[in-house]
Amino acid sequence: MSVPPAPGGDRSRRGLLVFVIALVVFLAAGGGAYALTRDYRSNQMTQDCGNSYGCIPGLKVTTLVEALKDRGHTCEEKSSSWHCDMVIGHVYFDLWLQTSGGYIYSVSVRLHRMDDKALTGTGLSYLSWFAALPFRDDPVLTKEIEGWIAQQLENNKDTKATIGDYEYVLQRPEAESVEFTIREK
């Protein structure tokens, strides 16, 4: 005796309807979550670079070091860091880049034997360039940071500020010396 089929196609039609609804919800939820996380990620000011460090997004330390070498700076790799320096006349430009996973999580700059005239020219240019590295795609913020540094140098005081996800510390240990540090807050 043959097995009787299910009466009517009602049940299969309902099953198909449930599947279609679930598929639509799945696609909508997936698309929404993708858009949200993509937006969040693309607006992050730091990127995970291992060892719980947040690094400057996208910029590999080797790229920065090569650019500085092309500019005449002397660079040497140390343990988990790079050291670059340059002497112009009596002024010493000293740079330390702390790295993790090939990316930079801390920038420390020291300027020694720099008089006021040099500080407001080359010194300011040097400090501002490094200060803007985390926000190099934002010309407005870059300009604001440069203005902030110029103001702090003029004030001639130790200062600390939070810009985005970074902490900026500017110190004047001596009259002709400046120490400047940028690191993830």
State the residues that interact with other proteins by CB under 8 A: 1, 4, 7, 14, 17-19, 21-23, 25-38, 40-47, 56-60, 63-64, 67, 71-74, 86-91, 93, 114-115, 117-118, 121-126, 128-129, 132-133, 136-137, 142
Q: Is 177 exposed, middle or buried (0-12, 13-18, 19+ CB in 10 A)?
A: middle
Nearer to other proteins (CB atom), residue 71 or residue 162: 71
* Cα angle value 167/172/173 (rounded, 5°): 115
Nearest approach in angstroms of CB 181 to other proteins is 19
Residue with tokens 């999580």: 105
149 close to 131: Cβ distance less than 8 angstroms: yes
Nearest approach in angstroms of CB 90 to other proteins is 6
Nearer to other proteins (CB atom), residue 21 or residue 158: 21
Nearest approach in angstroms of CB 155 to other proteins is 21
Nearer to other proteins (CB atom), residue 51 or residue 71: 71
d(CA 17, CA 22): 9
Nearer to other proteins (CB atom), residue 45 or residue 169: 45
Reference 126, options 172, 165, 93; nearest CA is: 93
Chain centroid offset of residue 41 CA: 12
93 close to 86: Cβ distance less than 8 angstroms: yes
| 151: three-class secondary structure by DSSP | helix
Nearest approach in angstroms of CB 121 to other proteins is 5
Sort strands 47-48 and 166-171 into parallel, antiparallel or unpaired.
Answer: unpaired
Nearer to other proteins (CB atom), residue 90 or residue 185: 90
Nearer to other proteins (CB atom), residue 1 or residue 140: 1
Nearest approach in angstroms of CB 57 to other proteins is 4
Nearest approach in angstroms of CB 4 to other proteins is 5
d(CA 174, CA 62): 32
